[in-house]
Chains A and B, each alone.
Chain A
Amino acid sequence: MAFSRRSILQGLGGALALPALESTVHAEATKGGGSSSNGQTPLRFLVVGNPLGMHPPNFFPQDFGRDYTISRTLQPLEWAKDRFTIFSHTDHGMKSGHGRELAFLSGVLPETSHAFAEKNMSIDQLIAKHIGGDVRYPSIHASLQTGIRMVWNANGVELEPFTDPQKLFDYLFLNLSDEEKKTQRQTLARNRSILDAVAEQFAGVKAKTGAADRERLDQFGTSIRELEDRMETRRNWVDRDKPQFDISHHFEGEATIINRYNAIFDMVAYAFQTDLTRVATVAFPNELGYTDVNGVNRGYHACTHNGKDEQVVAELVAIESFQIEQLSRFMKKLDDVDEPNANGSMLDHTVILFGSGMGYGGTHSNRNLPILVAGGGFKHLGHVDTRNAAGNNMPLCNLYVTLMQRFGIERDRFNLSTGAFELSYA
């Protein structure tokens, strides 16, 4: 399916001549040490995920190396062949079945998370935490209809995405009137007072608590403190105007999932460009109807259980290609923008992780996950076989260690990692 030429033209290019960087404005105002203010170029992180994996014979190329032949599903990315790496034979070593894809971004399932210091915190949250309060929004999450449960915070609690592009837009770009700002300041102040009162009453409750309840009460206490912190940050941002953006052209005519995903990715691109945030995730859920995509009549999940029926496999591949087309469109968009004060395009300063915590829904396999890393200034390797000499799959957490290090996080371990994957960058 082709994208409307018009939406591509209107999306980013012309409309966004010289957007002001949010964090620069902020840094000037607060003399804070945001990385862009000290002359460094921001590095951003986007995860694009689905819960059902990819049809393997159509996703993985037949041959390895930089000079591989592009696979059918990845065809929309042909233009950027040297800008991404496909990783074969990497996974979290999970058993088969649905539900284990929740571990996509951490390698850890919610039910076993208590054994890990960072619970099942997903890598995007880890990176967002590292970036900290330099930006207005630590991270943004989008999907349509429902999420796919891939983002988890340090408490092991799931963060739910925006599932309505309009709401995401309001959240990211809508400026408040003076009256609304005043109300918001008041609300923040009132909520602050309520939290203070609750925190004090909570202390009394905690003193009366038995051993069995302590852990959950600690969680509650942490939540109060973190919300107080967050309100503090928010109060700092209330008075500052957000960058202007227009996505209305995506909402003209019938609302298809195609123009709604276009809108989502455009908003993420612009939020990156204006430094509203540096971490984002976009999900393609199982429950969403993909029938707007050419050639699709069935449910996404139903298509994975195709019994190898050609017609149904074709529908599955159409859904998966749609996801890759969206990714490609986003990458193109970033690549068309030069990174200010740095070499290369925005794509070279944005790490993109595409993949799933499930290998392939048809077999319920959670091995051999479909994983692709793009941009980020990496020296990409084409299609790599990550197995070691003994023929064992590489823990996906090894790659996550590499990504963390790319963000300047000084650590060499992450959950199930056994090392780091060698991927150099310029």
Chain B
Amino acid sequence: MRSLFYSNRIAKAFVALSLVLFVSYSTVSATDHAILQQHCGKCHTGEEPEGGFHLELLGDGVTAESQEYWQASMDYVSLGDMPPSEESNVTDADRLQIAEYIREMILKQSRTPNDRFRYPTRRLNNREFANSISDALGIEDPGTHFPLGNLLGDTLHDGFDTNGDALGISEYHLEQYVESVRKVVDATVLSGEQSPPQHYDVPARLLRMSSLGQRTTRQESAIRNEDSLEFRDMRVRMYFDNFREVPVTGYYRIKIRATGIDRGYYDSAETGVYDGDPISLAIHFGDRKRTYELPDNEVMEIELTEWLAKGTRVELSYPTDGLRNRGNGNFKFQQSIAHDHIKEHDPDLYAKVVASIKPKRGGGRVLSVSHWSHWVDYWRGPRPRVYGAEIDGPIYQTWPPKRQFSLVGESPISGDAEAILTPIAERAWRRKVREGELDPIVRLVHDLQPDIGDLEAMKEGIVAIFVSPSFLLINPEDGSPAERFATKLAYFFESTLPSERVHSSIAAGKADDFDALCDSVARYFTSGHADEFLIEFPHAWLQLDRINFMAPDPDRYPHYHRKDVSADMIAEAKHFFRHAVETNMSVPEMLTANYSFINADLAKVYGVDDVPEDSKLRKYEFADHRRGGLLGMAAFLTLTADTMGTSPIHRAVYVMENFMGIHPAPPPGDVEIQEPDVRQAKTIKEILKAHVAQETCASCHRSIDPYGYAFENFDPVGAWRDQYVQSVTEPEREAKVTNKSRKTAPPIQLPIDASATFRNGKAYDDIVGFRKLMQSKANQEQFVRCFIKKLLIYANGTEPQNAAEVEKILLKSAEHDYRIVETIAAVLDSPLFREP
């Protein structure tokens, strides 16, 4: 038997704990886990135990030091990986017994002292920062002038943006916070006199289109009519020439008259825009965006009132994932659609245009008839037409504006600083302010007042509140348990500071125990307050950020790029997760459900043709048992694939890490990894066979590979394939670059073998069999365990450190048929979340 207790964590723990272990070797002379000695002793004892794991590492029972080993042991035994079938005659019943023994030992783990459940504080990530400062100030968002644009981007850790180690803080961060907060406060509390409102009339002639290049003299890429301006190129934005940016912060009422035209004029296969999709118009105020669906050939009057910061640019755009279907996807190639259409349908016009084609000035060459430049004016693709706009503002219902009044009152004086700043600080710091704690900040206001006046001084005091560690760090100190819990709960579901609603529901006992939490969790999802969780958690858990890290090859998979299909794939995964939560699905069903949510673009990838021709996601049941649920999603299949090919290893590692909760160790550094060579007529399995024959590789790969081969029938975009298609060229002596391009032979087809055997002897022939195996009780349980850990990582910013408590959550979840709501409630009720 080869290794296998060689997970990442174990490897790390092994180094860190070697000292401790040394001690335990000498004090614990013999461990007496008879069942383990019997089944595991042969390989995991002696001078050189397999995988570097010696049974003595388990000690007498589960302790803080040994629990990593117990946890990993349980993972591998429950999955059936250990003890392996290939070298023993253990039965499934034996494995079940061993797993049960390990679980009992883990559950017996002595209750650790309270502070063991404390997770280190961490910095707010940028999302949380934006939400929190907005809620503390009572504003809709941080502002339309990109006030947070200077913040450093957050570093993700395994997809999570809540990881405390990755969220560092430095003087550089701090400086950016000061700058950002001041910008936010400046656009909320207005200094100076009230500005009178102005009226701006924007007729069609003052509508302008931005340019892609740096040259501004170039003719604008738009269709200009007497009474309107139309989008010809979806990459540019429209703006108002007499209202380029907001002059003064305040409310503005904006009216825009627009319509959608020529939907369905061309064949949608040519344009890439489905006839079923309405034409949309997006209005951008900085990074705030409002999108409207325009009626066809009928003028719609859009009216909206927005608080806009000084300097905000107002721009319109045409959001569509189409219009890249022809040529190299560059917009000018759309004009050839116009050419082809006119040639076929309007011979008179065609003749007229052709007759007008003249050589370029200065005796240049004559461009061919089909050249895009002749047909620009005849483009009739689906597009928004904008007639004009009217803007009024700044508008203030009161002066000072309401948001300012509720923060600092009508005309604050520095003498009232403490009274004014205390409620702001209590919201921002998510706790009561301690006696005397605000003194330094109050003093700051007093000191500044003579130089800069009362209001400006008060604003500096507000800035200081948001630069304080009490705002920027989550639970940095020992506050009251109720306040700490409210903070954690609010950041878990809403990624923001706890509102009055959260505080009062906790005070009312609605989070006191498991049953109360079940109701509260369910209410979160029905009330819409948990939207942030529903969007961000699956994004992090499924590592959807990786999808275009290595996008499929544009030449081989044009559909993926021309229809922006990665966005549909991400939307599918999130939509499915939301559905799972809202219907309170059983957790394991997420993995292997026989349905998902797809639109026409995804249908093309999935080889399905009975869905409506539009971009809306709808529930679809797959009859072939190959797809549906997380295991069938193109997002996962794509983000684990290379550009040209797929790797069963990458997919296996993804499945193990994100669905099974096991981190296989990366290959050691001195292993020579063979570079994939598309020029040879070998399948990946044949190539990998070579290295599985090597002992160093085999010990891990025998466990890893079976999790990946099942997906071999899915190509780099996740579409089904029955054969590999490879273009084979003569391998050269050395991969030196030569300038002459070699003739490539016609592509050859190689058969796919998507079968594999797990170490417990269970085998599958293809994805259908694999999905069935994933529905075994052991695998389902392991998936739920993984889901629980991911929830805890999202909540705590670090891996759970106590295996027994994870098991207790799992047992609680099992009592409720692993329903998602109850599982989440069990997580929130656990000391691992409550941090008692």
Give the interface of A toward B (CB within 8 A): 55, 57-58, 72, 93-97, 110-111, 149, 153, 155-160, 190-191, 193-198, 200-202, 204-206, 208-213, 215-217, 219-220, 222-227, 230, 251, 253-255, 298-299, 301-302, 305-311, 313-314, 317, 362-367
Contacts and interface: CB of A to CB of B under 8 A. Distances in A.
B165 A111 contact: yes
Given A198-B464, A308-B677, 12 more contacts: A58-B736, A156-B168, A157-B169, A193-B447, A197-B464, A200-B439, A204-B434, A206-B477, A212-B120, A223-B173, A227-B174, A310-B729
A96 B643 contact: no
The 5 A-B residue pairs with the shortest CB-CB distance in the complex, in nearest-first order: A307-B678, A200-B440, A226-B171, A157-B168, A227-B171
B550 A153 contact: no
A216 B120 contact: yes
B168 A219 contact: yes
17 contacts: A57-B734, A96-B666, A153-B170, A157-B169, A157-B170, A190-B448, A193-B447, A197-B443, A198-B469, A212-B118, A213-B476, A254-B214, A302-B553, A307-B677, A308-B675, A308-B731, A310-B732
Given A204-B437, A213-B477, A363-B675, A193 B460 contact: yes
B524 interface: no
Nearest to B153: A160
B478 A310 contact: no
Interface in B142-168: 152-153, 155, 164-166, 168
Contacts of A202: 468-469
Contacts of A204: 434, 437
Interface of B: 115, 118-123, 152-153, 155, 164-166, 168-175, 178, 213-214, 434, 437-441, 443-444, 447-448, 460, 463-464, 467-470, 472-473, 475-479, 549-551, 553-554, 642-645, 666-671, 673-679, 727, 729, 731-732, 734-738, 741-742
Given A155-B168, A216-B164, A253-B214, A301 B476 contact: no
B49 to A, nearest CB: 22
Given A72-B737, A213-B120, A308-B678, A302 B444 contact: no
Given A96-B671, A198-B464, A305 B676 contact: yes
A101 B165 CA distance: 18
Contacts of A213: 118, 120-121, 473, 475-477
Contacts of A307: 644-645, 675-679
A227 B174 CA distance: 8
Contacts of A93: 669
A220 B666 contact: no
A282 B640 CA distance: 30
A202 B429 CA distance: 12
Most chain B CB inside 10 Å of its own CB: which residue of A194, A298, A302, A364:
A194
B546 to A, nearest CB: 10
Contacts of A210: 115, 118, 477-478
Contacts of B122: 216
A71 to B, nearest CB: 10
A208 B484 CA distance: 14
A306 B732 CA distance: 15
Contact of B120 (A96, A208, A215, A230): A215
B811 to A, nearest CB: 27
B642 A305 contact: yes
Nearest to B665: A95
Given A72-B736, A216-B164, A196 B440 contact: yes
B699 to A, nearest CB: 16
A210 B116 CA distance: 11
A126 B645 CA distance: 42
A205 B438 CA distance: 12
Interface of A is mostly: helix
Given A95-B668, A201-B441, A253-B214, A194 B738 contact: no
Contacts of B677: 307-308
A193 to B, nearest CB: 6
A299 B551 contact: yes
A191 B175 CA distance: 9
Nearest to B738: A310
B738 to A, nearest CB: 7
Given A208-B477, A308-B678, A302 B469 contact: no
A305 B171 contact: no
A158 B673 CA distance: 30
A204 to B, nearest CB: 6
A153 B172 CA distance: 10
Contact of A367 (B123, B642, B670, B737): B670
Contacts of B164: 216
A64 B119 CA distance: 53
A195 to B, nearest CB: 8
B118 A317 contact: no
Contacts of A251: 214
A305 B549 CA distance: 12
B170 A223 contact: yes
Contact of B444 (A196, A215, A230, A301): A196
B551 A201 contact: no
A161 to B, nearest CB: 11
A112 B174 CA distance: 24
A104 to B, nearest CB: 15
A367 B732 CA distance: 24
Nearest to B726: A307
Contact of A363 (B153, B444, B472, B674): B674
Given A155-B170, A366-B669, A309 B553 contact: no
Most chain B CB inside 10 Å of its own CB: which residue of A197, A205, A223, A367:
A197
A216 B170 contact: no
A216 B549 contact: no
Given A212-B119, A305-B643, A307-B678, A191 B168 contact: no
Contacts of A224: 171, 174
Contacts of A159: 170, 172
B467 A209 contact: no
B160 to A, nearest CB: 14
Contacts of B152: 158, 160
B549 A57 contact: no
A216 B476 contact: yes
Given A194-B444, A204-B437, A365-B673, A313 B735 contact: yes
Given A201-B437, A254-B213, A311 B477 contact: no
A55 B175 CA distance: 40
B728 to A, nearest CB: 10
A10 B736 CA distance: 36
A254 B123 CA distance: 41
B165 A363 contact: no
A216 to B, nearest CB: 5
B170 A57 contact: no
Nearest to B172: A159
A96 B642 CA distance: 16
A194 B476 contact: no
B667 A95 contact: yes
A206 B448 CA distance: 26
B834 to A, nearest CB: 15
A205 B737 contact: no
A95 B666 CA distance: 7
A222 B173 CA distance: 12
B737 A314 contact: yes
Contacts of B165: 110-111
A310 B742 contact: yes
A112 B140 CA distance: 40
Nearest to B727: A309
Nearest to B835: A212
Contacts of B735: 55, 57, 308, 310, 313
A90 to B, nearest CB: 13
A303 B304 CA distance: 47
A30 to B, nearest CB: 22
